[in-house]
Amino acid sequence: MSMASPGQHMAAEIAEQPAVLAGLVARRTEFAEVAKVIARRPPRFSLLAARGSSDHAALYAKYLIEVLLGLPAGLVSPSTVTLYGARPDLRDVLLISVSQSGGSPDLVEFTETAREQGALTVAVTNTPGSPLDQAAELTAHLGAGPERAVAATKTYSATLLALYLLLDAVRGGDGRDAAGLGELAEQALEASVQRAVDRYRFVDRVITTGRGYSYATALESALKLAETSYVAARAYSGADLLHGPVAAIDEDTAVLAITGSGRGGEAMRHVLTAVSERGADVLALGSASEQVPASVRLPVPSVPEELAPVLEVLPVQNLALGLALARGGDPDRPRGLLKVTKTR
């Protein structure tokens, strides 16, 4: 039996994403059914529970909830329940628990407790029948198929789109803005990352940054680079980057900046001017990447700003894969990492 080549699983799963995203759009009526239940029990506010890449997807959902639904939203700290035994009053609260495996014990316990404490609970997972599914009152499934690589790729983008379809339906939308996302994902994946791989293969320190919806992409980018290529990567909101951390940026720093065509991308312009003046090597990624100072640009198709993170992350995944292979690693088997978060 032949051994799998390095990165084989990650590459295959990255390539599956256009079909996975198109499949989700085709199933948007399923998310609309879940949304109807939420609409019948309108929450005072929403909470989101997640770990790892799913936590970045949850941050994206926080923006969706606050901007599209006009509700306060926050990310929970599961240990308040699992370690400290807190029992908060969650009547008239919507809890969305996000986990591609659906098997994280702390998320399961937090979801069970939240349901007991009065919350309307929704599980967003890639594993039907998982413990998280059973803990929650409502479920929304990704349908992305098994993911063999340790680094989440197709389950991450699928989670973003599933959350968008769900929350768009809650506000009364029909998901029409996402209709062509599968084809646009193909275009985003066609963009060559080779120049970026060649330029940054020896980099030791990377700052990733973005604003608004795209801050989630900055966080996911840092995680992908760290877990596949062992790069010291740190994510900052563009606003926070200028409040102190910019002092550590110099000509030895690579900055991966998410620059879309919406308000978040517009707010990044003065940030990139500042880091460029400090000599940073900027890789601009996004639908507005041609409009900012940068050494390398990775454009993606333009979509409504609230959907941009679904496409922005795709070239990042290819970049992480390419850098890992160029540095002699195997992103399918990163050192010391597990697929399922087992924290309690």
166-211: pLDDT as tens digits: 999 999 999 999 999 999 999 999 999 999 999 999 998 899 999 9
Mean pLDDT for the chain overall? 94
* Residues 210 and 320 grouped into a single domain: yes
> Residue 196: its pLDDT value, please?
96
Distance of CA 281 to the CA centre of its chain: 24
Q: Crossing angle of helices 308-326/154-170, nearest 10°?
A: 170
> Residue 334: its pLDDT value, please?
77
Give backbone dihedrals phi and psi of 172, rounded to 5 degrees, phi first.
Answer: 100, 10
Q: How many domains does the chain divide into?
A: 2
206-227: pLDDT as tens digits: 999 999 999 999 999 999 999 9
CATH number of the domain that 137 lies in?
3.40.50.10490
* Residues 247 and 149 grouped into a single domain: no
User: Would the pLDDT of 2 be above 70?
Assistant: no
Does residue 308 fall inside a structural domain? yes
Window from 24-33, 81-90, 268-277, 283-292 with minimum mean pLDDT: 268-277
Which residue range is the domain that position 171 belongs to? 8-182
* Residues 201 and 240 grouped into a single domain: yes
Contacts with 157 (C-beta within 8 Å, 6 or more apart), sequence order: 17, 20, 21, 185, 310, 313, 314
39-94: pLDDT as tens digits: 999 999 999 999 999 999 999 999 999 999 999 999 999 999 999 999 999 999 99
* Residues 142 and 95 grouped into a single domain: yes
* Residues 175 and 45 grouped into a single domain: yes
Instruction: Supply angle C-alpha 215, 315, 47, rounded to 5.
Output: 30
Contacts with 302 (C-beta within 8 Å, 6 or more apart), sequence order: 260, 261, 287
* Residues 171 and 23 grouped into a single domain: yes
| Inter-residue long-range contacts of 78-83, CB under 8 Å, 24+ positions, other chains counted | 78/49, 78/51, 78/106, 78/107, 78/109, 78/110, 78/343, 79/106, 81/109, 81/110, 81/113, 81/114, 82/106, 82/109, 82/110, 82/344, 83/344
* Residues 198 and 56 grouped into a single domain: no
Q: What is the mean pLDDT of residues 282-304?
A: 95
Q: What is the mean pLDDT of residues 99-125?
A: 97
* Residues 144 and 251 grouped into a single domain: no
Does residue 1 fall inside a structural domain? no
pTM value?
Answer: 0.95
* Residues 52 and 120 grouped into a single domain: yes
